Structure formats: C-alpha cells, structure tokens
A and B are shown apart, each in its own frame.
Chain A
Amino acid sequence: MSTLANKIQEVFNEPGCAKNQAKSGKERKKGCTKQLQPGGAAGGCAFDGAKIALQPITDAAHLVHGPIACEGSSWDNRNSSSSGSKLYRTSFTTDLSENDIIFGGEKRLYRSIREIVEKYDPPAVFVYQTCVPAMTGDDINAVCKKAGEKFGKPCIPVQAPGFVGAKTLGNKLGGEALLDHVIGTEEPDRTTPYDINIIGEYNVAGELWQVKPLLDELGIRILACISGDSKYHEVARSHRARAAMMVCSRAMINVARKMEERYGIPYFEGSFYGIGDMSDSLRQIAKLLVERGAPDELIARTEAVIAREEARAWRRIAAYRERFSGKKVLLITGGVKSWSVVAALQEAGMELVGTSVKKSTKEDKERIKEIMGQDAHMIDDLPPREMYRILKEARADIMLSGGRTQFVALKAKMPWLDINQERHYAYAGYEGMVELVREIDKALSNPVWSQVRTPAPWDEVTWEQRADEANAAVAECEAKAPSPCPSPARGEGTSSQRAQPTPSPLAGEGRGEGEAARCVAGEVAELPILPLERAA
C-alpha cells in the first residue's frame, strides 16, 4: 500500500497542472480529490476511472481482480469503438469468493492469468486491483511479475482500488500504469517525422475516426492513441512520437507531461470539439511537428485542409442556423466538453443559458468565460432544482448532459441530448459538429413534444400547473421576505389532491429556524432529479 500511497501523492503533485502549482505545499499534500460526502456523493470510483482510461486498448485482456460487484454490473457498458480486436469487450474477473478472501486471492489471480493466456493469447494482460483484495493484502505487483516471467507476456498491475478516490484520480493512476510498465518497452519498426500521440482520447462512439481521415490526408500518423482504438504494441512504442496532443484536460496530464520529460515529446492541450477548436488542434499538431523537424510545407497543406473543411462544415451547418436562431441550450457536463462544446454550439447559432463546470479545471472555467464573455452564466454544481426551473421557465429549449441527468429533462418533457461517455453519436471534428447540429435539430423538431405536453382531457390540474404554482409561491415569498426562502418541502399528496400553495407569512417565534423560514405550505412538486446529484 505504501507504494500506492506514494503514487497517489505523486499524481496529486502533478507539475503540469496549473491548479496544483498554485497551491501551497500543505494544500498539495491533501490532494485534488474533494472529500466525498457520505450520502451525498456522485460518480465513479478510482477503479472505474482506471478502467475507462485503459480498456480502450482493444487487443489486451483486462482482468479485474475483485468480487463480482466491480465487473459484474459494469462490463461492456462503454461505447469505445475498435477497428480491430474485440477482446477488450470480453470481461475477465477473478470473481473472488469467500475462500479467496480468507486464504488470499493471489493463487486465483495467477491461475486466471494463465487461463487467459492459454485461451485468448492477448499481447498483454492488464490486472486491476480493487478494494477487497487491497484490504486483504493481495500483492498484484508480485503476481503480475511472476506471471509475466512465466508466461512470457507483459502483465501490467493497475493500482487503483476504488476507495482511494474518484474517477479522475483513477484516470491518472491508469496512466501511471502505462508509464511504469508499458510505454517505451518496445521499439517501432519505423518512424516518420509525422508521428504523433493522441493522449486522453477514448474513441467514444468512434469519434477518433471523425478526425483520423484529416490526419491521414495530411500524412500525419497516429503512432499511438492513448488509449482509444489502440493496440498494446502501439502504446508500448509510443515513446518515439515527435509530438503529442492531450485531449481531455484533466484525465491524463501526467502521461503527457512525463512523456515530455522522459522522451522529449512536446505536447499541447487541445480539443476536437467545435470547428474552431478542431482547426486550432490541426494547426498545433502541424506546428509542433515542423518544430521537431518535419518539412515546413506541412503548415501550408494543413491550412489548405482547414480552409476547405471549415467551409464545407459551415455550408452544412448554415442550413440549421436559421432554425436555431433564438434557441437556448442548457449544457450540463463536466470537464473538457464544457468549454469546447460552448464554442461549438455558438457556432451553430444557439444561445447558452448555463454550463456546469463540476469536473472542469480552473483553466476550463477561464476558457468558458473567455468564449462566452463576462456574462457567462457560470454554474458550479448546478442544483437539479435550478436545472429543472430553467427548463420549466423555458429559458432553455434543450438540455445537453450526461446520461444520468437525462430524466430531469425528459420527465419535464423537454428535448434532451446525450453528450457524455455512454453516448451513441460521435461529435468530434468537422463531421462531428455537423452531426451534433443535426441531432439537436432532430431532438428539437420531434413532434412528440407537443403531444406529451398536452394534458389528458380529464385532468383538472396537471402536475406541471401545480409545480408552476409552487414555484411562483416561492418567488413571491422571496420577493417579500428578507431572508432566503427554503426549498419547498416534498409533498405527500396524490394526484387527486389539488395543490394549495398558500404563501403564508413567516411563522412566529417558538419554532425551529427551518420551520420559521418556511414560506410554502401544501403540496409542491419536487424535482425529477437523480438524488446523487442533488444539492442541499
């Protein structure tokens, strides 16, 4: 465990991270992960993050060392696409039983690796540590070392048991496993002055393939994508690239930075989302390659491709700009997509009413401000109540978010589009922007919205009306009262009871603080939210 503790400390101490650099030594030691609140936490664990980061290595076997919970309910649930091997979609787990807990699971792990090598013959086996064997003290490093020697296959221990932190930490710990055991362990057959790495891109819904044809045309070779649609040997040989692009701003900065340090590969941080960002990224790639010795003419060729593709994309998007004018979009997402999608949607003529910056770094937030001007409606951890109200008051025509918040929009009968990990559509590059715009148009113009919003002929009062009345009551109360009004309490009534949103004067003395401030009596519709994301 001490090596794992050191590793986490090291990851927290990432010099490539500007946010980290701004901290004092003491703060830095505490790490980046916010202390999770029991009963109020959301999101995946470190193991989840490590698996997200590494599983897109398509021809490797990914073996989860733990009880069934870690793999049994989550396997084959991500949309990372492969152009070749499908082995990454085969699930391997030691499925630890009570005996393994009592007597130790190392033997089972070793035998599992042997079975995988014999049956599936992958180029490498990644072994993921989880909470239970981390508690009981299974030494997966030792097992991997022994199995690797015995079977002549790289066996890579991934030390990211769930309880060490959140998903983003797991992304980085997955990257550390690559740095320690994979990158630089093999040599490529040949290199070219046009070799790049793309770091932190997972080829969700095949997005890498919306970008790759452009690179192909320019003669730029992806030596390794870490890790979308990659093969093990590509990652092992990635240290010979001339330049690198880091895609997801927080996920794998440690990989990009350490590869620069160890192998002299310069990197830049860029995005494939949005036309402007895509063009900038191509320019940056060309510039870095030329700086590293590629012929100058690459820059002119790149500009020609950018000009042609931008014009082509704009032509196709222009068809929608008119339909989108005046339409407002509420964007709830974390990390890289916040700032890159903002620009993209504005290009399509939409107006933003807010964006979540939960997972975004400080730099992300700065970028959003830059792009949206000082008026940007910055929403850190937007409470679902607010989300719902924005939608209800039609300040937004459509909501874009990850799968887990979709019901806020759908149950409120509002158009919604999935833009996170589990999405099925690809939105990268010039093609992706056209696709995103087409999908938004499809969602907005679908005829179901007017139908589902029509109340049943016999409904005297719809829940929407009750919700509106309740919200109005809160607003009225807020206007009157100096102290902030609390959230309406959850009503216990049934559909047959009509709401009585009587704004009452502040209750008298003798009551608890919470009670005294209560402005709204009667039934109030609550939010259709996922409790995990609910704010107090």
Chain B
Amino acid sequence: MAKVVISKKACTVNPLKMSQPIGAALAFMGVKGCMPLLHGSQGCTSFGLVLFVRHFREAIPMQTTAMSEVATVLGGFENVEQAVITINNRAKPAMIGICSTGVTEVKGDDVDGFISLIRRNRPELDHLPLVYASTPDFKDAFQEGWAKAVTKMVETLVETPAKGARRDPERVNILPGSHLTPGDLEELRGIVEAFGLVPSFLPDLSGSLDGHIPDDFTPTTIGGITVQEIAGLGRASWTIAIGEQMREAAEALERKTGVPFRLFDRLTGLAPNDAFIAFLAKIGGKPVPNKYRRQRSQLLDAMLDGHFSFGGKKIAVGAEPDLLFAVSSWLSEMGCTIEAAVTTMQSPMLEKVPANEVLIGDLEDLESRAGECDLIVTHSHGRQMSERLGIPLFRYGLPIFDRLGSAHRVSVGYRGTRDLIFEIGNMFMAAAHEPKPDDWRLPRGDVHENEAVTAH
C-alpha cells in the first residue's frame, strides 16, 4: 500500500503531466473520419499537434476554434459554429470531437448550449455527430481527458437497444485506456478473435495511428472505429475495460445498454493475463488455443531467464496512474523494487502501486528520488535526467519523440510481457557492472559499522 503524497512546490519543473484536452483529442482520433477540435487559442491545438506528430510520426488531424482575445472575452459561440461549418465543408468528417481548454473554461463558455444552438440553426449539419468533452487544462491530466472523451462518445453516440433485443454472443466491446499503444490494441484484437469473438475497440487507435500508408487519404483520421459501429455497441454481450480510467465509460455503457463489463486494471504480467485469457475462454465458450498456451509457456521461460537481471534492481517510474500501476506492479513481480514513483493526478490505483510512496509531482521530483536507481522508466522527457544521473532510461508512455516505433511497442498479453522482459532485461545486462580488483576490498577501521555491506 503506497502513501499518496502531493508535491508542495509552487513551481513545476520538467513536467511529467500533459493536459486534458489533448488526451481527449487523442481519444477522438480513434474514430474513423473524425476531426478533433480544441475550443481555445490556436496554440492549444498547435502544441498538441506537434507533440503527436513527433510521437506517432504521422499526420495528425486536429483543428482549433482560434479564439482571439476579443472572442474569448465576448464568448466563443461564433467561433465554435464557424469552426464546425468550416471543418464540415473542407474535411467532410464523419464526426467532430470538441474539447474545451483552460481559457474557454475560465470564460465559462457553455459548449453544450452552443451545440444545441447550432443544431437549431443549422439543420444541414444534422448528419454530423458533434461530441463535446469538457476538459479544462487546469484540472487533472491527459489520462482523464481521454477517459472523459470516451465516456462522452458512449453517452452521445451509442444507441440504446430496443427492449428484448437479442445480444450477439460473439460481440465484445473493448474500452482501452490511453496508456495502450496501437500495437497493444492490435495484439488484443488477435487474442480476442482467437476465441471466436468479434471485438469493437472504442477508441481504436490501431486503425488510425498505427503508421500505415492509407488506401484513401483524408484530412480527418484515416481509420478507427466508425460512428455506426459505436452506435451498435449495445448489441455486444460483454464490455472489457482496460485500466481503471475506463471504469466510468464502461459504467456509462452499461447504464445505457445493459451490457455488463469486466475491468482489467492491467494486462502486463502473468497473473493479469491468466485472468484475461480465462475470461475470454469463458465468454467465448472455447478452450484456450494452443498458440496462447505456448505463449504462456514462453513467458514463463522468459521470466526464468530474466529474473537474474531483474532481481534486486531499483527502479524510478514516472507515468500516468494506470500506466504507473501496470508497469510498477509487473516490475515488482519480476523482483525489482519501485524506489521512486511519480504520477500526474489522483486515482484509486495509486495506493495499489507497490511502492512506499506515490508522489503527484514532476520529473524534478523523480530526478531527486532516482539517484540510487538502476533504471528510470518514463517518457522521452526523462532523457535529460537520465544523462545527468548516468542512469539508463526506458522510454515508456507518451510522448516518445526520440525513438522510432513508439506506436508499435507491445506490452500487453503473454507475448508483450515476454518482449518487455527481453527489452528491459537487455538494458540491465548492458549496464552490468564489470568486476574490479577493488570491489571486494576488506573494510578499513570500524569493520562492524560497515557490516551491512551493499551488494554490487
């Protein structure tokens, strides 16, 4: 049980956190033909856009209501309306996902009200779904923005099935948290399909931001779940939510459609995947395919081979709550100690992190606690600290802008966990200490005080 502590500093130094609106925008990017629209100054969009371009190395659809100072003071209805019309004319989107920002929230713009007005005045836009998530920058963080956008999509787009309508026993909804990569989703799709089930991912970044050459170029997202498919999520037999952040969306979906849900708080590690596979076998009514029995066996072997390198290692982790919980739990199951844990916002998962303390803080806090560690696990912004401390950095989370393939790293399932053992284990091996003649020198002077010799 970790103690959750909030940083007392006035000044955030080297932020770990990113803002809610861009988390929400990323969730909207998992819908096909979507254009995310940030209601704020153009910089709000531009910063987020550059961040995603650098991380995914893809064109990123994201627009702005381009609020000027005057428009902000007077209220942004005209800007929202004009933005929706312009996007509709130019990009012909299947949906527009609107996120508020700090400046329009401070003004108190009632975007829900704006949308009703647009609906009343502009019947020509009736075909175009508008989903709005309230995501002020000055509250919470990226993960929460993502979760809010998914919940709002469920509330706005999913249809309530007719009374007595039959469910499709093969169909399963999957609500992935923001910490899963497009590669993770692809892996999960394969696993779920192996049990004869048909998964629908909301949102589905594996179709839009998995780095492919599209068949059909559009200025909106180039893939993802369709609006029609979202509408039909109520026909599924089960919903699987991954990450505590998705609980609210899963509950909203259950409330609206009666589809029951099972929440997996992580899918990295042996035990959580055993539970996941067993659940799929149960709802799919099929035995576990040989492929996954074999992958499980490979994971066991990797754990056996790898535990020499992981055992006793001290790790500093900086990540959003669900990712922090997932990676810390798994690392401690491999024999590591989570020496420092820093996160971005409150979450029920924080006290379950296997560390003495979880700090809601920044990368300066992580740096000051990581001095004795063998490995730093955080996003690319950990690179400066890694250099200063001379401790290797495992880039994990978002953004990863100085390495290739961040969209394709897989760390879910037996295979993903196995590969994570190899990747991190190799970093430990590369940093292994070469024995030196003086390593085992006998202690001088007060021998007894130094009896508790630290291992090399």
Contacts and interface: CB of A to CB of B under 8 A. Distances in A.
Interface in A68-84: 68-77
A525 B15 contact: no
B72 A77 contact: no
A8 B41 CA distance: 17
Contacts of A109: 10
A491 B46 CA distance: 28
Contact of B59 (A63, A70, A90, A407): A407
Interface residues of B, number: 79
Nearest to A96: B138
Given A75-B15, A162-B41, A536 B89 contact: yes
B60 to A, nearest CB: 7
Contact of B46 (A44, A95, A403): A44
B90 to A, nearest CB: 6
Task: Assign chain A's interface to a size class.
Answer: 35 or more
Contact of A72 (B18, B35, B85): B18
Given A72-B17, A94-B12, A44 B42 contact: yes
Nearest to A46: B43
A93 B12 contact: yes
B46 A72 contact: no
A346 interface: no
A507 interface: no
A98 B43 contact: no
Contact of A48 (B47, B51, B80, B102): B47
B151 interface: no
Contact of A70 (B42, B47, B58, B106): B47
Contact of A411 (B63, B80, B213): B213
B381 A39 contact: no
Nearest to B15: A72
A113 B11 CA distance: 8
Contact of B41 (A37, A68, A131, A413): A131
Interface stretch (A183-191, A306-314, A433-441, A526-534): A526-534
Contact of B54 (A77, A107, A407, A530): A77
Nearest to A384: B219
A67 interface: yes
B49 A532 contact: yes
Given A39-B65, A69-B19, A95 B12 contact: yes
A298 to B, nearest CB: 42
Interface in B69-84: 69, 71-73, 78-80, 82-84
B22 interface: yes
Interface string A113-150: 11110010000000000011011100000000000000
A47 interface: yes
A41 B66 CA distance: 7
A400 B7 CA distance: 45
Contact of A94 (B10, B14, B49, B136): B10
B227 interface: no
Contact of B219 (A72, A163, A493, A526): A526
A67 B218 contact: no
B215 interface: yes
Given A48-B43, A92-B13, A131-B72, A531 B67 contact: no
B64 interface: yes
Nearest to A4: B69
Contacts of A136: 106
A194 B65 CA distance: 49
B265 interface: no
B50 interface: yes
A76 B381 CA distance: 8
A40 B107 CA distance: 23
A388 B59 CA distance: 14
A494 B84 CA distance: 27
Interface in B331-365: 362
Contacts of A63: 11
B212 to A, nearest CB: 9
Nearest to A1: B69
A98 B138 contact: yes
B11 A528 contact: no
Given A67-B102, A68-B17, A493-B216, A39 B37 contact: yes
A292 to B, nearest CB: 40
A367 B35 CA distance: 38
A525 B219 CA distance: 11
Contacts of B46: 42-45, 48
A73 B18 contact: yes
A407 B58 contact: yes
A532 B46 CA distance: 9
B42 A89 contact: no
B82 A39 contact: yes
A210 interface: no
A463 interface: yes
Contact of A532 (B44, B54, B62, B141): B62
Contact of A75 (B106, B139, B381): B381
A490 B107 contact: no
A77 B92 contact: no
Given A407-B59, A411-B217, A490-B216, A112 B92 contact: no
B62 A163 contact: no
Nearest to B21: A69
Contacts of B173: none
Interface in B158-178: none
Interface in A152-199: 161-166
B346 to A, nearest CB: 12
B101 interface: yes
29 contacts: A38-B78, A38-B82, A39-B83, A39-B90, A48-B47, A67-B102, A67-B138, A68-B138, A69-B21, A69-B22, A69-B137, A70-B43, A72-B15, A72-B17, A77-B51, A92-B12, A93-B11, A108-B10, A111-B11, A131-B40, A131-B103, A132-B106, A135-B73, A161-B41, A525-B216, A525-B217, A532-B45, A532-B49, A536-B89
A325 interface: no
B426 interface: no
B389 interface: no
A101 interface: yes
B9 interface: yes
Contacts of B156: none
B214 interface: yes
Contacts of B73: 135
A303 to B, nearest CB: 43
B159 to A, nearest CB: 21
Interface in B1-57: 9-15, 17-19, 21-22, 35, 37, 40-51, 53-54
